[in-house]
Structure 1
């Protein structure tokens, strides 16, 4: 079975990749990729109190998501959304574990509030005014593929625009040694049921047992392997070529995603 949609907006933020326009030349090998720590912008759309409480996941989803929406010509408050994270807010998780290991085991309400897996979706609604459906999922290293499938199924079944936000942030030590995520990274895609003047490409997805595509640049390949959300980089590379392309994306151990891209 194959499902299809149009990509109307792209957002990207990660180590040395600061937005989709500048990242395209890097993905095409026209500019040398220079890894640098991800800088997360302040979530200025949030009210002051929520802005102060927001962690890395909130800042990352807002930055990537708003870039994709701006390119799509859509209104954030009218879009259904799919949030796909391999884990959760690593810094918040670390802080809660420290509290539980201390003599004073009282967890602050803010820490508890931000510990739930749908916290990013809640902050997104506050920032954008969105009251549409928001799905939140986690599939460990398969989270980008799972999020892409969920978002595309919503587009096809509900005949509606859907925003995919696939993001990950690192854990501090000692959790990092058990779950090493190298840096904060996020990909956002606005997916549409029909093409428009904003469409970058038509995308079709099916299942395959073929091996996943890798990236020729060793530093970018390390990034792809080091952060689950970055498993979507071969898809962005294919879009950047502005040519017909087929890529295989990591998903489950014995099942990958066969993706066909046709530029618009």
Structure 2
């Protein structure tokens, strides 16, 4: 299936590894020019080089901390207006209401929650002036499976899903599609860290984290490529009438696992 993405320009935040890296690879394989954004310049440079070599696509990058709104100004100044914006940057820590203090909560939300919202606000206006664009927010299934042990993440992801539904509910009037992709557990370094934290809190032994995998559909986490393929399809004109919705990629609603993204 030709997705019609050849020649499109995309920005992928959190694009140096994990889901973001997989999304960048998938878009580049379809012929998109991809601009990666993350904090680590060295990791970005390596990932950009690998993707360019694999796909032959143009791959550039900016090492920026998107929790600082000034970084968004720098990003917009350094790049042309993209056809596709994929918000994926963010790492909200595990913990309950007593273990996540205000400073950690605000730090996490400044990147994932307000970072997404601020990027949407910045690019939506420019896309509206042009009359086209796609914004996809990668959230997480904790938005639906409320988890007291991941309270900052479950609340933040729920808010981003609501934000995506609200903005995307009428964005087609401006020629723009806004939606969210909400993965369940995905096989990344981050999910292992979250599971280890939970295992330490519940069992006093972080090495028991793999016991949670048995609660997942098919006894495994999703591959990053499985999430990236959904994002890539939704970014294309093949999904031209999809907006203001949340697509779960969870193998059947994440089993009994609470911490997932």
TM range (shorter): 0.3 to 0.5
Between Structure 1 and Structure 2, the one with more helix by share is 2
RCO comparison, higher one (Cα < 8 Å, 6+) = 1
Between Structure 1 and Structure 2, the one with more strand by share is 1
TM-score by length of 2: 0.33
TM-score by length of 1: 0.32
